[in-house]
Amino acid sequence: MTVNNIKGIPVIMGSTEMEKRRDPRFSATSIAWGMVFLAAVLAYWPGLKGPFVLDDLTSLGALGNQGGVTDWDTFKAFVFGGTAGPTGRPLALLSFLIDANNWPTDPWPFKRTNLVIHLANGALLGLLTRQILRLLDVESRSAARIALVSAGAWMLHPFLVSTTLYAVQRMALLAMLFSVSGLVLYLYGRSLLGTNRTKAYLVMTLSLGLFTVLATLSKENGVLLPLLILVVEGTVCASRGSRLPALDRRWSSAFLGVPAILVVGYLGYRFFSVDFLETHGSRNFSLYERLLTQPRVVADYLQHWFLPKLYTTGVYQDHVLKSTGLFAPVSTAVGALFHIGLIVLAVVKRRQLPLLAFAILFFYANHLLESTTLNLELYFEHRNYMATGFLFLPLIVLARDQLSRQMGTLVAAALLLALAGFTRYSSTVWSSYEGMVAASAQKAPTSARAQTELAINLFNAGRHEQSLVVLDRAIETIPTDDPLLLINRLIIRCNLRVLQPHELDSTVTALSRRPYDPRYLQHYTGLTQALSEERCPGMTVEQLRPLFANMLRNPANSEHGSLELSHIKYLSGTVDMLAGDRDAAMARFLESLDAKPDSGSAMTMAAMMATAGFLDEALLLSERALEFLDIESRGVRLGLKVTEKDIREFRAIVTAEIQGGAE
């Protein structure tokens, strides 16, 4: 094997696979990697039998919108009909077809594929880590061992369980897969600058163009790839000084600088937008408050990474309190100073401490989109999936320098085993929905979603009194009148036939003051159904009319074209229909469709009217569905929920009913 050194870059010129196989060091590394992969599989195995949760049901449920993905038209509708982000994330949706093409389906294949991608990400992260270390002149064997421990610790960390076992987070997994692939290929191309500049720039340009697109079509974070490469250049490469060939400034400006400026510029534009101080839709915080809250949130992410927990609150994160000012709470300012200090340290010491600077800036660069001025939820663990890729690396290198080889090996093995054990426990919790909910509710007593799900599970298991105790305790603990808790308390007490009229009236008054949250549509529908089926003695569905009428007096709920307006009109129409007022119901349903035209929604209303015996109105609504379907088929909106065949079959049945009644 011949090794040349071109301007300080070691380049292997002739190393065969046969030589590697004969090298005991190579064999030991391969075995060690195999053991890490096996540990990861064993750690995650219990969770593979776990259920679909939350967003899985909406994003993956689209597989069955048209009877399954069975031809080109249904393929296009599913793959290009995504609504999870501005791009629709078609590449991630395409990957789901590996696992199923209809709905409902078995979650196991989806979680299995997620785990395979997670292992691939770990392998790529190890390769990238080794490239980074070699650029910093770390000896080859030592670089390989450090890369193994660093990537292995990342792969086995329990904080990533909620990303890997959450089927729909395939989007985050694929975004990392393509981003890290782009970084690996970029550094390979950069290594060619000293010998073949043309090939070097071709490879680097390809890595940026191809993998930025692939990553972005998986999840929008992919647009950060040029910025991540700038982090590598500004830390690891900058520390090499004149020993490393410099990039052509025109190329780096065009392919690295401009894309990074566009991303930062857009986020800055959001900062100066006119609605920066206003709350949006179902969010109970403004962009200003969200930005203030993120220093506390990101500090919590770091705490979970360096002080791993057996189990976190998982997918239930609505308990995170927003910051309303720099000192409200004071941890907002403390967190902001902490993060600013780390970033300043990394920038100032990027040449003297390149590895530390790289790990810090890589973490914050990955959080640039989801932890700043975009109108997203305050907290989600999956935002750390790629960001944490190098956080352990400086510590591992420091340990290598301070410990003997034997002691270092023991410490590394203990670390990996401990992380694997934590992940195994967390994965076991994820193996059942009831276990996930119970653990999350215990961890987050102020999470309305977790407490509500726990109460529903207890009620369904026949533990009625306990379910009410959970809701009553949560209502007392959580400082706001959370609609999720209030609605489900009404439903459970109604089902137990112990609800009193004054309770319904007082709760309706409290709910009418709250902004409507479209995510709670099924809960409002459940309450409406419980009252219409006379499960609440002495109460009728008409008592909900003031609730929806008062909701429309809130400007946040009555904006034309909003989902909030469409849902409230739909719920109001449902009450009218159940009360037997066909004209009022029809008017409300048409107003709902005017706010949000949708063929699937129109057919839902048509089916309800037909079931209630209002057949002429059902035909009219199905006719509107056909009109919407025609508009949608021309590309205005993809991801159709019904087909023309479905609608025409429905119309034929209703027409036959009308004709039969006339005879």
pLDDT tens per residue, range 595-654: 888 888 888 999 999 998 999 899 999 888 888 877 766 544 434 466 777 777 777 887
| pLDDT tens by residue, 5-34 | 434 334 433 444 444 445 555 678 889 999
End-to-end CA distance of the chain: give it in Å, rounded: 93
Strand-pairing partners, residue 12, are: 3
Half-sphere exposure of 658 (CA within 13 A, CB side): 13
How high is the pLDDT of residue 10? Answer: 40
Q: Is the pTM of this model over 0.85?
A: yes
Distance, CA of 583 to CA of 612 (rounded, Å): 13
How high is the pLDDT of residue 233? Answer: 95
**Of 247, 206, 213, nearest in space to 230 by CA:** 247
How high is the pLDDT of residue 4? Answer: 45
Tokens 């989007």 locate to: 171
Q: What is the mean pLDDT of the chain?
A: 88
How high is the pLDDT of residue 553? Answer: 86
Distance, CA of 70 to CA of 74 (rounded, Å): 6
Mean pLDDT, residues 177-182 taken together: 98
Contact 188, 137 (CB under 8 A): no
Mean pLDDT, residues 327-337 taken together: 95
| pLDDT tens by residue, 525-561 | 999 998 888 888 888 888 888 888 888 888 878 888 8
Q: How many CB atoms lie within 10 A of CB 384?
A: 26
pLDDT of 240 strictly over 90: no
Bond preceding residue 90 cis, omega within 30 of 0: no
Tokens 């003031």 locate to: 546
Question: Which of 76-85, 107-116, 375-384, 420-429 shows the lowest mean pLDDT across its residues?
Answer: 76-85
| pLDDT tens by residue, 382-434 | 999 999 999 999 999 999 889 888 898 899 999 999 999 999 999 999 999 99
Structure tokens that stand for 552 in this block: 């429309």
- Specify the amino acid at residue 629: L
Mean pLDDT, residues 294-303 taken together: 96
How high is the pLDDT of residue 183? Answer: 97
- Specify the amino acid at residue 591: E
Domain boundaries, the chain: 3-7+25-60+105-245+260-427
How high is the pLDDT of residue 661? Answer: 58
Structure tokens that stand for 616 in this block: 């002429």
Contact 365, 359 (CB under 8 A): no
Distance, CA of 35 to CA of 4 (rounded, Å): 33
Strand-pairing partners, residue 10, are: 5
What pLDDT band is residue 281 in, cutting at 50, 70 and 90? low
pLDDT of 292 strictly over 60: yes
Tokens 């102020």 locate to: 446
Mean pLDDT, residues 484-491 taken together: 91
